[in-house]
Amino acid sequence: MPARRPGLTARPPRAQGRPSAAETWRINRRLWYSGSRRRLYLALWVPNGLIVGCESLYVAYDSRHAGLLFACAATGMLTGDMLMGRFVPKRWRERLSAPLRLLLAVPYLVFLVHPSRPVAVAAVVLASAGYSAGLLLQERLLAVTPEEMSGQALGLQSSGVLTMQGAGAAIAGAVAQVTSAAAAMGVMAVASVAVTLALAPGLRADAAVEVRSCAPAGRTA
């Protein structure tokens, strides 16, 4: 029997073999049919993809320092994910979810006024920390998904993120063609905020239902 490495536990596979295309489509339809999961998917896909559209314009915005902006975006994302995944207590995570989704977009509004380089760098780092909201949404997605479908639920989430990121870059490029890189970044940020605000009431209602459903019997949630 192979030795177990520290920190890893043995887990049986959730499924055997490779599912057919028809089976994958059937499970994806079932995942999407649930209103609570559908709202989570949209919150994971759309605001994220629109902000990737902002990032795709770094070279057009400042070709000399685009590498710095990309590095700052990676630093902000890493820092946010590490803090949220390792150090923030669970009781605070739901409270921070909505502010983090707004944090992902709002700092990019400063690009509309062509900020100085230090301000632009700070905005990119701060905004990229908002990507950590995805960890909280993924946590909720798994909580409302049957365990046997959790792997495909995350696969659908990943596919949607990649698709929307490509679409976000294409939309941002199209807007920049008729305006400017700075204006397009502002437009994408406003669109991301609008989507986040539109989805917020449904996500809050879903979270309240999840809390009540997890409350111990005999207690009022």
Give the per-residue pLDDT at 121: 97
Instruction: Select the more confidently predicted residue: 85 or 208.
Output: 85
Give the per-residue pLDDT at 209: 74
Instruction: Select the more confidently predicted residue: 72 or 217.
Output: 72
Cα–Cα distance for residue pair 139/17, rounded to 1 Å: 26
Give the per-residue pLDDT at 216: 53
Residue 51 · residue 188 · CB < 8 Å: yes
Q: Which range is least confidently modeled, 3-7, 55-59, 190-194? A: 3-7
Instruction: Select the more confidently predicted residue: 158 or 21.
Output: 158
Mind listing the pLDDT tens digit for each residue in 130-164?
999 999 999 999 999 998 888 899 999 999 999 99
Structure tokens at 186: 């502002």
pTM: 0.84
Non-local (6+) Cβ contacts of 147 within 8 A are 14
Share of the chain above pLDDT 90, in %: 67
Non-local (6+) Cβ contacts of 218 within 8 A are none
Q: Is the pLDDT of residue 221 over 50?
A: no
Write down the mean pLDDT value for the chain. 88
Q: Is the pLDDT of residue 220 over 50?
A: no
- The phi, psi pair for 17, rounded to 5°, reads 75, -175
Non-local (6+) Cβ contacts of 157 within 8 A are 41, 44, 45, 138, 141
Cα–Cα distance for residue pair 32/23, rounded to 1 Å: 14
Burial 15-33 (b: 16+ CB within 10 A, else e): eeeeeeeeeeeebbeebee
Share of the chain above pLDDT 70, in %: 86
Mind listing the pLDDT tens digit for each residue in 177-212?
999 999 999 999 999 999 999 999 998 888 777 666
Please report, to the nearest 10 degrees, the dihedral formed by the alpha carbons of residues 173, 200, 133, 221 taken in order.
-170
Residue 203 · residue 43 · CB < 8 Å: yes
What DSSP string runs through 157-215?
A: HHHHHHHHHHHHHHHHHHHHHHS-HHHHHHHHHHHHHHHHHHHHHHHHHHHHHHHHHHS
Cα–Cα distance for residue pair 69/176, rounded to 1 Å: 18
